[in-house]
Amino acid sequence: MRGKINIRNRYILIGDLVLIPIAVLGTFVLRFELGTLYFQYLPFSYWMIGAALVVKPIVYYFFGLYRRLWAYASIQELKLITVAVTTASVGLALAMLLLYTLNIVDSYLRFVFVIDWLLSLVAVGGLRFTLRLIAEMQQNQTAGQTSTRAKRVLVVGAGDAGAMVVRELQKNPQLNLIPVGFLDDNPTKQRQQIHGVPIVGTITDLDRVLDRLRVNEVIIAIPSAPGRVVRTVADIARLKAIPYRTMPGIYELLGGKVSVSRLREVDISDLLRRQPTRIRDEKVGLGLSGKVVLVTGAGGSIGRELCRQIARWGPDELIMLGHGENSIFDALLELKEAFPSLIVHPVIADIRDSMRLHNVFAQFRPQVVYHTAAHKHVSLMEVNVEEAVTNNIQGTKNLVDTALQHGVERLVMISTDKAIRPVNIMGATKRIAEMVVLEAGRRTNRPFSVVRFGNVLGSRGSVVPIFNRQIVRGGPVTITHPDMKRYFMTIPEAVYLVLQAGGMGLGGETFVLNMGQQVRILDLAEDLIRLSGLEPGRDIEIVYTGVRPGEKLAEDLWDEGFQFKSTEHPDIFRLDNTNRCRVNAYIRPLMN
């Protein structure tokens, strides 16, 4: 039972019962130095000891000081001890005041309670943190016994994440990982120690430090590290055949905690990380907290991550709408596991079915809609034109019309760079879908907007999983053209910026995300091959297959002649689009 005091904490209670009288007597010794006044107030001290033995253990019990594992004591426990001791001292002072009022004691010494508070704080805290010290000594002894077979770990990053990693490694000697040093580029941290582990240099010293400290593994503990830093560490470690792992990037850690269990192998998304932009995002929370939010395409890569990030803002309800039952089921399980108290409604529906959409909106009354459902594969849509048109255009129009009829407050459509000067069916249909949303926003003065960005790493059907499968099979890795370039962004980062942009929309606007520099697909393939421990050209062959119908060598994020304006977020731009095409007049003939 929660209220029981276990055997170990009974010993702590006994220790308190011994230390309480010592603290009271020590108070009088410090105050009167065993002089005449000391013996004059001796009866008062006896009553004070009796009152303290009653009041203090009761207060400590109610503050939970006998229900904690003090071997893991931290600053939080120190704060708790301070509050408990302060409360107990106030209670003791009131008890002695009562005795004085009842003429049981003939004096009331205010200053002794201040000294008693200080001595009690030292005694109570010292007793409990001694247990932590003993536990650490035992851990160090265990670590010393296993050090012969343990791996020597170098931690890159001496910030909060690095300190947390080292602390967990020290607490878990069974992992057989001993932190032997930190690297950090902050000059003020050099030659300092964290949890007894020295900071031995900067990242430029990595090559030398790996040899000097005989490092067996490298851990990159900088969630905000840009890709160039991760690449530098990975390249040097790989040349020396030293394993390396990393913490997830800052966007993957949104709403989560740093821990050793989250360490993973470095992947391609880490090499393409960008320096995250620090910005207050209360506006996103205000737009989602307490709202009924609907996400179309919720089983897809973008839709699933949208649901995950929306959930952390505490919506009133979340509707996950998608056409594929298996993907919706998997996404639902993942979301319920991470957010068990969230009300989630899985809806299997086709956005081309207008009546079904009306029923869904009538039932759940969504206030905010994120539209990600679309056919996205360029080559497939070239030979399935009718599917592309009905799903991407008619489906979007159905959704927009339904949202307007049911009073949706905000609608955000996710679009693609292939909608700019489209040369393929998929891009053309997405461009028309953009125009549907923008026209509705302008016509009704509602915040219906479009967010446009390039390729996302790791989405279904993207080049990364295709290349990985080809590498696992032993090659070859197929690339259409050596100069093919694309914009890339990780899914968590893209979705984070989508939510930021969605909160800025006033009506009929296109937002474009800063995708950074375009990446050569050839460079991407070579990085993936090297991350697999192989060498391109030697272990895995790269074959060029030729540009496919509907493909461009490079993509754009806006048309020539369009002007973009900055927003409150440095990675989000607003397009100044003066085009007022009456797109709805052309959709019906297209559908026919």
Gap between the Cα atoms of 83 and 361, Å rounded: 51
User: Which residues touch 125 (CB under 8 Å, ≥6 apart)?
Assistant: 78, 81, 82, 85
Q: Quick check: helix, strand or coil at residue 369?
A: strand
Amino acid at 558: W
Amino acid at 566: S
CA 122, 128, 134, 137 torsion-angle sign:
negative
What tokens appear for 21 in the block? Answer: 């009288």
Which element (helix H / strand E) includes 478? strand 477-479
Alpha helices in 220-267 (DSSP H): 227-239
Rounded to 10 deg, the angle between the 111-146 and 160-171 helix axes is 70
Can you give the C-alpha Rg of the chain in angstroms? 32
Gap between the Cα atoms of 448 and 411, Å rounded: 5
Amino acid at 253: L
Task: Give the phi and the psi of residue 192 in degrees, each rounded to 5.
Answer: -100, 175
Cα–Cα distances (Å) from 357 to 300, 401, 437, in that order, read 19, 10, 16
Q: Quick check: helix, strand or coil at residue 456?
A: strand
What tokens appear for 392 in the block? Answer: 């991407």
Is-catalytic flag, 418? yes
Residue 36 has a CB neighbour count (10 Å cut-off) of 8
Cα–Cα distances (Å) from 178 to 95, 155, 182, 234, in that order, read 52, 10, 12, 20
Rounded to 10 deg, the angle between the 584-591 and 425-444 helix axes is 140
**Pairing, β 448-453 against β 488-490:** unpaired
Check if the beta carbon of residue 592 is closer than 8 Å to that of residue 584: no
What tokens appear for 405 in the block? Answer: 């009829």
Gap between the Cα atoms of 328 and 275, Å rounded: 32
- Catalytically annotated residue among 56, 291, 376, 418: 418
Check if the beta carbon of residue 162 is closer than 8 Å to that of residue 186: no
255: left (phi over 0), alpha (psi -120 to 50) or beta: left
Gap between the Cα atoms of 556 and 332, Å rounded: 35
Which residues are tagged catalytic?
418
